[in-house]
Structure 1
Amino acid sequence: MQRPKAQTAALLAAPEDTEQQFYEALQSADLDRLMDVWADEEEVSCVHPGGPRLVGCGAIRAAFETVFLQGAINVTPERVRRIHTGDTAIHQVLERIHLETPEGRQSAWVIATNVYLKTAFGWRMVVHHASPGTAHDIQEIVEEPATLH
């Protein structure tokens, strides 16, 4: 049963709360919980690794419904970088996907950008854009801050 978004707003008091709910929904293949984190806006969008841009909650729901037919996604968000200004938060996330293979447990990597907006119903996701990654992506190239003397 889908919870009304107004009831979940208290759970989504910060972008980090929304992100946690999103990844927990992926890990449990809970479609209603996953859709609760999305803003109720026509222009929300989602891109799965190697997939087309999905626009609107209906298209996003249908895509995740198909994904969840394969079961839950064993995903762990790692190395989250956050930019937060006003009513917008952007999180760049390195996602580790755990896969069971005949050779044993393997990891795959996805690089994702999650964008959240503060709404009357709490923080909601408006964009999830995921791209295939590699083991090399666990390394980051970070510019050292310039020091003025």
Structure 2
Amino acid sequence: MPRQGSRCFLVVRAQEWMCALPLEEVEETMRPLPVAPVAEAPFFVRGVCMVRGTPSPIVSLAALLGGALPTQASPGQRFIALRVPEGRLALEVDEVRGLRWLEEDTLESVPPLLRSTANGQLQHVGSLDGGLLAVLGSAHLLPEDLWRRLETSSSKVGGA
């Protein structure tokens, strides 16, 4: 049962990074769909695909966080459709680990996801989609020790 001062997050893995996405920003998780490349897109944009009839950019979370270029990495195993004011957008991740309740004071000690993309990618993210920038601004990286504690705790809400 969630405590006052906690929020629910969808925990995903992108290569070696464990990331917590605010559940209120997540529309759905899905298997990867066919992706069409887009010329002149930033390197972390895999391309565009049709998600429920809407053309949606596909962003490789691993590439955004500084991992291998999408052409060097194997495609992600799941898409996470996010609610953004500009329309639908999907993050490509390797794995969905489930829902977790995290207390706000715990989040203060966890690095924000955007801090990891600060090596020049933020400007590209903002120009691509201001809504994505806002969603990523409320997402967090989960250090390995915190992730191990979450795995052993009974705060698991369920798989996604």
The TM-score normalised by the length of structure 1 is 0.28
Question: Larger relative CO (CA 8 A, sep 6+): 1 or 2?
Answer: 2
Larger radius of gyration: 1
